[in-house]
């Protein structure tokens, strides 16, 4: 019925290609060409080899994808769920487990949208794509060897025909069957009471399995999730930003809590941790990043690709502010300010305290008020003047929000108490009575290509957290809190 050189393709998202190819007389001419729904909007395909697919057939299908203007990945081997559905399965299943634990779907969706920067939350997306479709796809993948425990809530909703928008009832209620109406989801304080990185960690773990088995490349993982699923950054870039060690910690904690093998960290991740390939904070993870470290004595300055971490390093003195600290902070902040790569500067303290305030030993040397003034003019005033200049720039720019966060004990020293506007503050983990911020962050105007690396940043201590605000980086006005591992 067709020419001898014709290539057969299937749009299946789950049925093994090799299994289908065996029904033909030309398995070398049979392969997968999975269009991601809706193809009129998402111009991306998965190209999947069967066990006997020829290189010539792959080249033909690649040329076809290019001819229609679609981006693509080529899976080197046929595995249940291919690439996108394997990663989606981990993502959505963890969201469902969080729901089964008692968390509200709106809070989970809000955390994913406003903290992580996704266009939709997992429950919005499941309702849109169809809970029946997701359940049946996962069931087929499990039958063919994909290791995952299906959440009971998904099975129950499938049996009750609560399939989402198509039936008018899913995780959300819709005006009528088939009505495309997005549920109202707004940011709230409750979205900070959950850890959205649980969902990211499972995806990273699955991606590591695919890489270790040479099914796809790192770049293909990133491309697939950004293009097909509209992730703001790829999962491997997420891992490098969160810290590969933190990803492993999340997985181990979940394994201890559940005993499920799907939470065992992939050997590739554990090897990366052992080798110190942790991501931005080490200069290399899944990818290489710009990294510099300077020991300024009582202050340590680290450039982590597009942001700086400045650490007061006197843990034995609870990071009390002496001359070396004030001078080190000035030098570090100037370096961050002058570096065009640095969009965010984060100030924190080593050990269990942020800062105990001015060092008593220094203050005891002041005999008169003039001594105090002379010391202040030499050490504190230059830094405070810089702080004021930065604040003035912030007041005149919506692109450079300033963020402060407390991460431990802090003395209410006058020099540290500054509650000026336009700053995001995080008090979680702090131990003091006055609401003094202690992490100062500013961001230079973003370049167009920055979206590839760092979309709307929030604040963390050594664990950058995606922020909850617009892609235009308007001035922030709510607290950002870190739950990241």
Contact, 34 vs 12, CB < 8 A? yes
Contact, 241 vs 200, CB < 8 A? no
Q: For the sheet containing 44-48, what is the strand order? A: 8-10, 30-35, 44-48, 71-75
Handedness of CA 251, 189, 238, 42 (dihedral sign): positive
CA distances from 196 to 75, 103, 107, 199, 282 (A): 28, 12, 10, 6, 23
The string of DSSP codes covering 129-147 is H-HHHHHHHHHHHHHTT--
Q: For the sheet containing 291-295, what is the strand order? A: 291-295, 299-304, 307-312, 344-349
CA distances from 89 to 12, 109, 137, 197 (A): 16, 16, 9, 15
List for the chain the helix, strand, coil content (%; round to 5): 40, 15, 45
Active site residue 34: yes
Contact, 198 vs 98, CB < 8 A? yes
3-state secondary structure 165-202: CCCCECCCECCCCCCCCCCCCCCCHHHHCCCCHHHHHH
Q: Which of 330, 325, 332, 385 is nearest to 361 (CA)?
A: 325
Q: Which of 34, 305, 307, 411 is catalytic?
A: 34
H or E element that contains 292: strand 291-295
Report the distance separating Cα 31 and Cα 9, nearest Å: 5
Catalytically active residues are 34
């Amino acid at each position: 019925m067709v020419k001898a050189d014709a290539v057969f393709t299937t749009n299946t998202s789950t049925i093994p290609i090799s299994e289908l190819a065996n029904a033909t007389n030309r398995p070398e001419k049979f392969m997968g060409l999975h269009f991601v729904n809706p193809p009129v909007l998402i111009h991306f395909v998965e190209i999947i080899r069967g066990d006997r697919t020829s290189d010539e057939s792959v080249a033909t299908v690649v040329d076809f994808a290019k001819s229609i203007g679609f981006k693509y990945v080529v899976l080197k081997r046929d595995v249940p769920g291919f690439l996108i559905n394997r990663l989606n399965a981990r993502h959505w299943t963890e969201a469902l487990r969080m729901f089964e634990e008692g968390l509200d779907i709106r809070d989970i969706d809000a955390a994913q949208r406003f903290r992580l920067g996704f266009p939709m939350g997992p429950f919005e997306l499941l309702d849109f794509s169809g809970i029946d479709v997701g359940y049946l796809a996962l069931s087929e993948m499990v039958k063919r060897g994909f290791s995952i425990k299906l959440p009971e809530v998904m099975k129950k909703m499938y049996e009750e025909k609560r399939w989402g928008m198509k039936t008018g009832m899913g995780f959300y209620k819709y005006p009528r069957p088939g009505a495309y109406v997005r549920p109202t989801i707004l940011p709230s304080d409750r979205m900070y009471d959950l850890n959205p990185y649980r969902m990211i960690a499972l995806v990273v773990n699955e991606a590591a399995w695919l890489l270790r088995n040479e099914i796809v490349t790192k770049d293909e993982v990133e491309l697939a999730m950004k293009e097909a699923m509209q992730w703001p950054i790829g999962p491997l870039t997420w891992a490098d930003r969160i810290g590969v060690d933190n990803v492993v910690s999340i997985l181990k904690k979940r394994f201890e809590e559940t005993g499920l093998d799907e939470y065992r960290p992939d050997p590739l991740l554990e090897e990366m941790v052992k080798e110190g390939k942790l991501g931005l904070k080490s200069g290399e993870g899944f990818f290489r990043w710009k990294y510099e470290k300077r020991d300024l004595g009582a202050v340590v300055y680290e450039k982590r690709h597009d942001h700086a971490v400045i650490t007061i390093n006197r843990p034995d003195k609870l990071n009390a502010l002496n001359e070396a600290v004030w001078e080190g902070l000035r030098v570090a902040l100037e370096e961050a300010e002058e570096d065009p790569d640095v969009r965010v500067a984060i100030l924190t303290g080593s050990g269990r305290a942020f800062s105990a305030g001015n060092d008593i030993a220094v203050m005891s040397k002041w005999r008169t008020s003039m001594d105090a003034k002379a010391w202040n003019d030499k050490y504190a005033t230059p830094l405070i003047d810089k702080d004021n200049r930065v604040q003035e720039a912030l007041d005149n720019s919506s692109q450079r929000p300033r963020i402060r966060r407390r991460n431990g004990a802090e003395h209410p020293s006058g020099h540290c108490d500054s509650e000026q506007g336009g700053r995001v503050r995080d008090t979680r983990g702090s131990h003091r009575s006055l609401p003094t911020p202690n992490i100062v962050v500013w961001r230079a105007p973003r370049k167009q290509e920055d979206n590839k690396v760092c979309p709307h940043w929030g604040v963390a201590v050594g664990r950058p957290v995606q922020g909850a605000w617009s892609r235009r980086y308007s001035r922030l006005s709510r607290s950002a809190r870190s739950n990241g591992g």
